[in-house]
């Protein structure tokens, strides 16, 4: 019997060089308007455990180590806590709001009113950074039997339930930290719950590229041959 390899599913540790796209569904829940309207995936989850205790996420407005210098936002709001915990050890702790949104929903503004010279104020993050782990990216890669490192994976999206899939256009297989070779076109699938929860492997204390402010996030995903 012939095998349809396009339907074969393999589980691999996966590392996205640019992990910002992995936060897209989660960030909806961290904005006051979406959260308070009840339309976000994690509406009603403040102070509840939603992810692995090893996952934290911060909105950073001032950190020379990360190259972020925003002592006040576009509305001149100064936030005392430069590293606002949004997710802390897996617990949802805060949502962000500018002055207008904070007044509308009766919450405290968080210094997240962003504007450019030709735009009105909108609620947005200053610098969204995951909490750093203990080991370096190299140390984690060297400890894994295999890992897919994604340099280019665009065109994917999230469902309303938080399921995620994206094609990989440029990725490499590493074994014990050594490059085995470039991989053919693949698709990876996971969910927001899984990638930061039950299938989170580890978060490094640095990025794959030394100029990355985002520490490397290793998570197990389902991998399909296109």
Asked if 55 and 37 count as a contact pair (C-beta separation under 8 A), the reply is no
Asked if 95 and 26 count as a contact pair (C-beta separation under 8 A), the reply is no
pTM of the model: 0.92
Pairing of strands 147-152, 9-16: parallel
Burial of 51 (0-12, 13-18, 19+ CB in 10 A): buried
pLDDT number for residue 116: 87
195 sits in which H/E element:
helix 192-195
Q: Give the separation between CA 100 and CA 78, rounded to whole angstroms.
A: 15
Q: Give the separation between CA 68 and CA 60, rounded to whole angstroms.
A: 7
Asked if 225 and 186 count as a contact pair (C-beta separation under 8 A), the reply is yes
Q: What are the tokens at 31?
A: 């904005």
Q: Give the separation between CA 47 and CA 138, rounded to whole angstroms.
A: 34
pLDDT number for residue 5: 41
Q: Give the separation between CA 218 and CA 15, rounded to whole angstroms.
A: 5
Q: Give the separation between CA 216 and CA 212, rounded to whole angstroms.
A: 9
SS (H, E, C) 118-177: CCCCEECCCCEEECCCCCCHHHHHHHCCCEEEEEECCCCEECCCCEEEEEECEEEEEECC
Q: Tell me, what DSSP letter sits at residue 184?
A: P
Asked if 93 and 87 count as a contact pair (C-beta separation under 8 A), the reply is yes
Query: In the chain, helix, strand, coil percent, each to 5?
Result: 20, 35, 45
- The tens place of each residue's pLDDT in the chain, 226 residues long, gives 433 445 556 899 999 999 989 999 999 999 999 999 999 999 999 999 999 999 999 999 999 988 899 999 999 999 999 999 999 999 999 999 999 999 999 999 999 999 988 889 999 999 999 999 999 999 999 999 999 999 999 899 999 999 999 999 999 999 999 999 999 999 999 999 999 999 999 999 999 998 888 999 999 999 998 8
Q: pLDDT digit string (tens) for 101-150?
A: 999 999 999 999 999 888 899 999 999 999 999 999 999 999 999 999 99
């Amino acid at each position: 019997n012939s095998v349809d390899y396009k339907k074969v599913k393999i589980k691999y540790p996966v590392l996205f060089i640019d992990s910002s796209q992995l936060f897209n569904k989660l960030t909806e829940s961290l904005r006051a308007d979406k959260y308070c309207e009840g339309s976000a995936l994690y509406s009603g989850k403040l102070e509840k455990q939603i992810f692995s205790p090893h996952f934290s996420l911060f909105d950073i407005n001032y950190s020379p180590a990360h190259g972020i210098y925003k002592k006040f936002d576009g509305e001149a709001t100064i936030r005392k806590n430069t590293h606002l915990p949004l997710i802390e050890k897996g617990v949802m702790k805060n949502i962000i709001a500018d002055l207008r949104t904070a007044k509308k929903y009766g919450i405290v503004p968080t210094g997240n009113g962003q504007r450019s010279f030709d735009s009105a104020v909108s609620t947005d993050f200053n610098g969204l950074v995951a909490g750093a782990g203990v080991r370096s990216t190299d140390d984690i890669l060297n400890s894994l039997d295999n890992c897919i490192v994604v340099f280019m994976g665009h065109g994917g999206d999230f469902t309303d339930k938080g399921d995620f899939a994206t094609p990989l256009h440029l990725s490499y297989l590493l074994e014990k930290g050594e490059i085995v070779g470039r991989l053919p076109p693949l698709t990876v699938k996971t969910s927001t719950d899984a990638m930061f929860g039950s299938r989170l492997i580890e978060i490094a204390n640095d990025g794959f590229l030394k100029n990355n402010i985002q520490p490397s996030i290793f998570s197990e995903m389902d991998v399909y041959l296109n």
